[in-house]
A and B are shown apart, each in its own frame.
Chain A
């Protein structure tokens, strides 16, 4: 046997397995990442993630567990409905990523709302 052939074969087998796993897993669970106007432009049926800025119309009910708000980018906006606990930094003006789908009622029903986490110690930088 040619030296190294054994391991090359093993590598090929592992690579094929990894390739299959990636292909099957990504095919089943990848989602479009859109801005609000992109979602407006071509509505999709499946789950998507929509990024936009929370507007000043946050309505909470049921002890804060049920939330309605508007997500907006530069041109378009969309009403978002969500049940569950929100990230701490959720408030009007911050950018959030809502994960869910656009219902036939025109409301985006979110399964999850992610806020951009502040990874720096400052709140807002000075404009120098």
Chain B
């Protein structure tokens, strides 16, 4: 029953979305306000149908309706219900439905207030979003339906892999997927602005929140993915430059570039073609990433269920590329800047350089990701490993950090003679940290650069905060009022907070990357091992029996702490085992112990990692997200109003 209803809802959604796309384009061309409104409502209706389909699938999962192939393949009776509910986005078909759902909801939200952008732009935006939704629904209805029925209803489902039975798995995939889905909103409005021949920044202002949301979701998804890999996979690391990780990183980098360069257009009216290109690039990278991940064309440690949707996404990618290039070529003439170019040393130049470097990082990651495919065409397949990414992208990240330190202190227009004066605090901080590290015996140049420049970038943010505070204090107003100003100008100070989070994150990445120590060894009960100043004593192993699995626990004493790394064995799933790494976290370093096995003579084998500053990564990620939220929530004077005012009377800033 659920199967038929769900399939019906998806089909109705498809019809609505297709209708919305065709009608919106036609009505936009005719500038027919009534039909534009109807087209928009058809999009809402389509989103409503997707909500119904999603609710039905969730109902099927929670009621264990194993007549649905998707339910039988992705859940079973013994799985706890939150994980059963999470199976909604755990499989191929369900994750596509989830994508369509997020696009429907966010797309509707972005269209509600879109009419003030002008009839044509709003209509085209609805048309493009509806066209993307139509594509997803075609795949969902005809190729990968989550409502496929089994001919015989099995008594129980197949359940899910124990590696995925983790709380992190409940939030990581939906956040990443929602991030992927939300990139379509800025793209839709950018392409619509190009189609409508509007080169002003109204579309930027209108979709700023959605771009920030996409960026924040994707960033959170990346950090959660790292957190999950670190805590669950038990290999002592968090990032492996796997194609699946790379394709999630690239759109995020493109959006990072766009969030900075769009400020240039909002303030100075320049970089218009560039901003269009960046938003289009971010969206194309999302589609490309989905194709890569779902088609199995590059070797990855993640094997996704291979299915028929690969060619569909390749076709969609091709259409999107042709459409985007044609659109940019069509409007290239009208996108030239009208105002005077910025001086060489200015905030604007810093943004441009930062953008170019981020594109450079994307190029590095892209090349590493597609190399197996490209080299496979011309002979034997080749792959690159972690050292490639570190060597090629590392220097670019160092320059980006330096820009993060200097950029916010550069003026928008001409740099006054006080440039060196403005940079004195970050330079001093970098110098102090550099000397301290050298005295501490650090000789690795990349480590010295990364930490010193992170200190400089952090100092820059603190200088900006304290400057505002001091100015207010000197004018006789209290700290409470200073705080109020920071809250009022939260777009700016939210951005600095995000920068600060990035700095903390970078310190964590650098610390764990440059100073990780690892030891693999066997110990008899009572034996101790010393690594990086930490002394661990193996006290003995025991077998524990839990509800659905057994655990072999090898206890380790670290000071007055007992670490219990374990190997769990799930009898129900072909005897698959699962590592439970024991992690003792402090802000200085994590002691990360993996139990490899226990020998017949009572000794046990361990792999021990000392991972310095890993906690900083998670803390930095959290601060980053808080900064974005502060900068995004409830902006009082919307940038759109400013933009509309500027569009009416263009003034040289």
Binding site for B on A (CB under 8 A): 3-4, 6-7, 10-11, 14-15, 17-18, 21-22, 24-26, 28-34, 38, 49, 51, 60, 62-65, 83-85, 87-89, 91, 95, 97, 99, 114-126, 128
Interface 9-residue window, one of B157-165, B443-451, B619-627: B157-165
| A124: B residues at CB distance < 8 A | 158
B159-180 near A? 1/0 per residue, CB < 8 Å: 1111110000000000000000
Chain B residue nearest to A124 (CB atoms) is B158
Contact A88 B596 (CB under 8 A): no
Contact B367 A22 (CB under 8 A): yes
Given contacts A21-B364, A33-B381, A126-B158, whether A28 and B73 have CB atoms under 8 Å apart is no
Cβ-based interface call for B550 (8 A): no
Given contacts A63-B599, A65-B597, whether A26 and B360 have CB atoms under 8 Å apart is no
| B341: A residues at CB distance < 8 A | 3-4, 6
Contact partner, B392, options A21, A34, A85, A97, Cβ 8 Å:
A21
Given contacts A30-B388, A65-B520, whether A122 and B367 have CB atoms under 8 Å apart is no
Cβ-based interface call for B495 (8 A): no
Contact A7 B520 (CB under 8 A): no
Contact B383 A30 (CB under 8 A): yes
The 7 lowest CB-CB distance pairs between A and B, nearest first, are A64-B597, A63-B605, A121-B90, A121-B160, A25-B391, A25-B392, A18-B360
Cβ-based interface call for B382 (8 A): yes
Cβ-based interface call for B510 (8 A): no
Contact A26 B520 (CB under 8 A): no
| A89: B residues at CB distance < 8 A | 161, 163, 576
Apart from A33-B381, A118-B164: 5 A-B pairs, beta carbons within 8 A: A25-B388, A33-B383, A116-B303, A122-B158, A128-B148
Q: Which of A22, A24, A87 is most buried by chain B, counting CB atoms within 10 A of its CB?
A: A22
In the complex, A38→B382 CA distance in Å?
Answer: 13
Given contacts A14-B357, A21-B364, whether A123 and B573 have CB atoms under 8 Å apart is yes
Q: Which of B87, B150, B233, B380 is most buried by chain A, counting CB atoms within 10 A of its CB?
A: B380
| A60: B residues at CB distance < 8 A | 597
Contact B382 A30 (CB under 8 A): yes
20 contacts between A and B (CB under 8 A): A4-B341, A15-B356, A18-B396, A22-B367, A26-B368, A32-B382, A51-B299, A63-B598, A65-B522, A85-B520, A88-B163, A88-B234, A95-B303, A116-B301, A120-B92, A121-B90, A121-B160, A122-B160, A123-B158, A128-B151
| B326: A residues at CB distance < 8 A | none
| A95: B residues at CB distance < 8 A | 303
Given contacts A31-B383, A88-B577, whether A63 and B90 have CB atoms under 8 Å apart is no
Chain B residue nearest to A17 (CB atoms) is B360
Chain B residue nearest to A44 (CB atoms) is B380
In the complex, A120→B75 CA distance in Å?
Answer: 11
Contact partner, A125, options B73, B83, B367, Cβ 8 Å:
B73
In the complex, A3→B597 CA distance in Å?
Answer: 66
Contact partner, A115, options B301, B352, B605, Cβ 8 Å:
B301
Chain B residue nearest to A99 (CB atoms) is B385
Shortest CB–CB separation between residue B224 and chain A, in angstroms? 15
Chain A residue nearest to B74 (CB atoms) is A121
Given contacts A18-B396, A29-B385, A31-B385, whether A3 and B380 have CB atoms under 8 Å apart is no
Contact partner, B161, options A31, A38, A83, A118, Cβ 8 Å:
A118
| B91: A residues at CB distance < 8 A | 120-122
Contact B382 A33 (CB under 8 A): yes
Shortest CB–CB separation between residue B160 and chain A, in angstroms? 4
In the complex, A24→B394 CA distance in Å?
Answer: 13
B308-350 near A? 1/0 per residue, CB < 8 Å: 0000000000000000000000000000010001001000000
Contact B522 A32 (CB under 8 A): no
Which B354-387 residues have C-beta < 8 A from chain A?
A: 356-357, 359-360, 363-364, 367-368, 371-372, 380-385, 387
Contact A65 B596 (CB under 8 A): yes
Which B378-409 residues have C-beta < 8 A from chain A?
A: 380-385, 387-393, 395-396
Contact A62 B304 (CB under 8 A): no
B67-97 near A? 1/0 per residue, CB < 8 Å: 0010011110000000100110011100000
| A31: B residues at CB distance < 8 A | 382-385
| A24: B residues at CB distance < 8 A | 391-392
